[in-house]
Structure 1
Amino acid sequence: MRLLLVGDYPPPYGGVSIHVRQLHQFLRGRGVETKVLDIGKGGRPAPDVLPVQGAAAFGLRLAGFTSAGWVTHLHTSGNNPKAWVLAALVGSMPGPRSPRVITLHSGLIPDYLAASQARRVFARTALAGYARVVAVSPAVRDAVIACGVPAEKVLVHPAFCGSQVQPGPVTSEVEAARSRRQPLLAMAHHPSPVYGRKQMFRALKLLAETHPRVGLALFGPGTRSEEFIRDARELGVAGLLEDLGELEHAKALGLLSQADAFIRPTTHDGDSLSVREALALGVPCVASDVCPRPDGTRLFKAGDEHSLAQAVREALKAGPAQVMAPDVGPVLLDVYAELLPSGIAGAGTVNAA
C-alpha cells in the first residue's frame, strides 16, 4: 500500500496540521509507505514531507502520485471556498487506480453549506470523485448528505489518533506557572472571538473569588496583542494570567499534562483536537455546549460565565474522568485497504500490520 496525505503540516500547529502529522506517524509506524504533500506554510523538514507552494507546483506533484496509483487522502477544513476548490481539484485529478479519501475537519461546515444552494451544489460536485468522505461529527455528516452525497460513502470518526498523544517536555515557564498557581488552568488561545477569550476572562474573575491562587495559562497566537492586553486589564484578570505565547505542539502537550483543567470556551466549534488531547492525558476538561463533546467532558452553557466558572469548580473537585481515547488510524487503514484491488489491498494490510 502506498499512501499520500494532502494537507497542512506543522508548523504552524493547527488542528488539521497536527492530525496530518499524527496520522503520518501512525502509518509509518505500521510500515505503510506514506508521504505528505504539505500545502501549508512549509515548516521544518520532515521525512517524506514534501512542501509545495503554488497551484501549478501542487498540481504537478499531485498528478505524479495519482497517476502512479497512490491512495490519496485530503485533509481540509471545508468551511470556506478555497477548501472546496482544493477538494474539487484533488477529487478530479486523473488517476483511475488512485482511490480518493477526504476528511472534512471543521465544525462550521453545516452553517457554511446551509447558507447557499450554490455552495451545496459545488460541495456535491467536489465530493463526487471521492470513494470515502470522513466527517468529524454527525452534524458534518448530515450536512454533506443533505448536499446529495450518497450516505453509504460517508463515515463519521473524530480526526484523532489517540495512540500518538504523549506528554511533551515541561518547560521552565510551565514549571514556574505550576509553582505559582493553584489551580492552574489551561486554554488554547486565538484572536478570533469564536475562541471565547472575554467569556473566559469573566469566568476567571469569578473563580478567583473562591480560588485566590488560580491562574490561567494561555498558549497560541495573539496573546501579546493590544486587544488581548486591553481585555485582560479591563476585565481585571491581568494578574491571573500566564502568557506562554505560541508553543510547539509537544510543549503544548507538556503544559496540558501539568494543568488541573483544560478549558474550551468557544462560541462555535467542531470536534476539538485539544479537548481530546486533554482527556487522553487524563486532564479534566470543561467545554461549551455548542456542539457534541467527547465522553468525559464537563459542559457549560455557552455565553454564561457563571455556568463556566461553576463547571470549572465541579471539574476541579471531581478530578479527571477515565476515558478511552479514540484512534482513527486503524479505522483508516481498513478504509484504504477496502478501496484497493483485492490483491494489492491484501498485501498492504499485511505490510501495515
Structure 2
Amino acid sequence: MPAGYSGKYHRLSSLWRGFLYLSFNMMLWRNKHVHFNFSSLTSLVFLVLLPKNGTKWILMLHHGVLESRLPDVLVRYVLRRCDHIVYMNEAQYTSYRLHGVRGSKLVKASSYVRPVPGTPDTVFQQDIESYCAARPTFVASGYPTRWYNLDWCIRFVGQREQYQLALFVYGDGPEKAEIQKQVGRCENVRVYWDQTEDNFNYALSKCFHYLRPNTRDSFGIAVADAVNYGVPVLASDVCPRYQGARTFTLTTYESFENALLDSLNNRGAAVASEAAPVVPFSYDLIQ
C-alpha cells in the first residue's frame, strides 16, 4: 500500500468474495477507473464475466509472467475489455502486441512503490536479528521453481561456512522437495516459508547482501527495496533493474559465483547502473 494512501481498504478472504464484491460495486462505479494488479495472465479469468458497466479498466501484471494455460482467444477477449494496460519492460510490450493489444492502450510504468515501515512478528524479529548477528547473512527469495535459481544461492553459501543464507520461499512448486533436500545438507542455510511482507522486508533491511539470480523476472521489487534499505544487491540482467543494483549476465552457476565473489571483493564501491530511472505509475499517464 503506498505511503499516504487515504482511501478505503477491503481485505477479502477468497476469490469468489472478491468477484461478488466487484460485481456489485461495478454498478456504482460508473465512469470510474478500476485498477487490476495481477501477477500473471492466468488471473485474467477473473475478468471474463465481471460486468464493466461504464467503468474504465486498467491492467498491470506486476510479476511480468506472460505465459498462461488459458486459450489465446480468451486472453485476447479480456485484454480487449481493458481500457489501459501498463507494461513494465519491452518483453511485456511485445507480448501484449502479439496478443492483439493496440499500441495506444499500452502505457509504460513501474509497479514499484517504496517500502514503508511495517511491524514484523515479535518472535520472527528476535529470530532474524539473532540469525543475522551470527555471521554475514545473504537473503534470497522467490517461488520454488527453476526460474529463481535458489539452489545456486544454497550452493554458494553451503561451500563457504563464513557466510549464511536466509531463504524466503513462497508457495509450492516443482523444486520444493529439492530445496528442502539441499537445505538439509547445509548447517548455514535457514528457510523461512510463506512469511508476511512485513517479516520479509524486516529481514531484507537487516541482511548483509540480497541475491536475485533469476532466469526470468520482470523487475524484482525486492531488488528495489533492498537498494532503498541500503543493502548491496546482486541480480541477473534478464530485465531492467532498479538503479543501484549490481547486475551480471546469467549463463551458468559459475557466472553467478564469479559475479558474487567480485561483488564481495568490491563491497562498498559505487555501482554504475545503465538502468533508466523508474517511472512510477500515475493516473496522469492515462489521460
TM-score tier by shorter-chain length is 0.7 to 0.9
Pairwise CA RMSD: 3.1
Which protein is richer in helix relative to its size? 1
Cα pair distance change 1:52/1:128, threshold 3 Å: farther
1:72 partner amino acid: V
**Distance in 1 (alpha carbons) for counterparts of 2:171 and 2:96:** 33
| Counterpart for residue 204 of structure 1 | 157
Contact 2:107 2:285 in 1 (8 A): no
Is 2:57 aligned against 1:106? no
Q: How far did residue 103 of structure 1 move?
A: 0.8
Is 2:16 aligned against 1:27? no
Which of 15, 21, 36 is equivalent to 1:74? 36
| Counterpart for residue 88 of structure 1 | 48
| Counterpart for residue 345 of structure 1 | none
Q: How far did residue 189 of structure 1 move?
A: 4.2
**Distance in 2 (alpha carbons) for counterparts of 1:276 and 1:54:** 29
1:127 partner amino acid: L
Is 2:17 aligned against 1:64? no
Which of 120, 129, 132 is equivalent to 1:178? 132
Q: How far did residue 52 of structure 1 move?
A: 5.6
**Distance in 1 (alpha carbons) for counterparts of 2:116 and 2:187:** 32
**Distance in 2 (alpha carbons) for counterparts of 1:153 and 1:126:** 13
| Counterpart for residue 346 of structure 1 | none
2:126 partner amino acid: S
Contact 1:79 1:106 in 2 (8 A): no
Which of 92, 98, 122 is equivalent to 2:74? 122
| Counterpart for residue 256 of structure 1 | 204
Q: Deviations over 1:73-121 (max 9, x none)?
A: 11112333xx22223334xx1322x221111223331xx27x99x51x4
Q: Tell me the secondary structure at the aligned position of residue 274 of structure 1.
A: helix
Cα pair distance change 1:53/1:200, threshold 3 Å: closer
**Distance in 2 (alpha carbons) for counterparts of 1:138 and 1:226:** 34
Cα pair distance change 1:52/1:230, threshold 3 Å: closer
- Stretches of structure 1 that go unaligned for 5 or more consecutive residues are 1-21, 29-33, 36-47, 339-353
| Counterpart for residue 90 of structure 2 | 138
**Distance in 1 (alpha carbons) for counterparts of 2:182 and 2:14:** 37
Contact 2:89 2:239 in 1 (8 A): no
- Stretches of structure 2 that go unaligned for 5 or more consecutive residues are none
TM-score normalized by the length of structure 1: 0.68
**Distance in 2 (alpha carbons) for counterparts of 1:261 and 1:59:** 40
**Distance in 1 (alpha carbons) for counterparts of 2:11 and 2:118:** 27
| Counterpart for residue 235 of structure 2 | 287
**Structure 1 vs Structure 2: percent identity of aligned residues?**
21
**Distance in 2 (alpha carbons) for counterparts of 1:174 and 1:52:** 29
| Counterpart for residue 12 of structure 2 | 51
**Distance in 2 (alpha carbons) for counterparts of 1:153 and 1:124:** 13
1:242 partner amino acid: R
Cα pair distance change 1:156/1:275, threshold 3 Å: same
Q: Tell me the secondary structure at the aligned position of residue 74 of structure 1.
A: strand
Q: How far did residue 196 of structure 1 move?
A: 1.2
**Distance in 2 (alpha carbons) for counterparts of 1:251 and 1:159:** 21
Q: Deviations over 1:280-322 (max 9, x none)?
A: 2121111223333233222234352222222223333233757
Contact 1:161 1:327 in 2 (8 A): no
1:27 partner amino acid: Y
Which of 208, 211, 216 is equivalent to 1:268? 216
Q: Tell me the secondary structure at the aligned position of residue 63 of structure 2.
A: coil
**Distance in 1 (alpha carbons) for counterparts of 2:77 and 2:197:** 35
**Distance in 1 (alpha carbons) for counterparts of 2:39 and 2:213:** 20
**Distance in 2 (alpha carbons) for counterparts of 1:325 and 1:216:** 30
Q: How far did residue 190 of structure 1 move?
A: 2.8
| Counterpart for residue 341 of structure 1 | none
| Counterpart for residue 318 of structure 1 | 267
Aligned residues: 275
Contact 1:186 1:218 in 2 (8 A): yes
**Distance in 2 (alpha carbons) for counterparts of 1:226 and 1:124:** 36
2:147 partner amino acid: V
Contact 1:134 1:155 in 2 (8 A): yes
Q: Tell me the secondary structure at the aligned position of residue 202 of structure 2.
A: helix
Q: Deviations over 1:161-219 (max 9, x none)?
A: 12x434765812122122211x211111432232212222222245x1xxx41111112
Contact 1:100 1:129 in 2 (8 A): yes
Cα pair distance change 1:50/1:95, threshold 3 Å: farther
**Distance in 1 (alpha carbons) for counterparts of 2:76 and 2:85:** 11
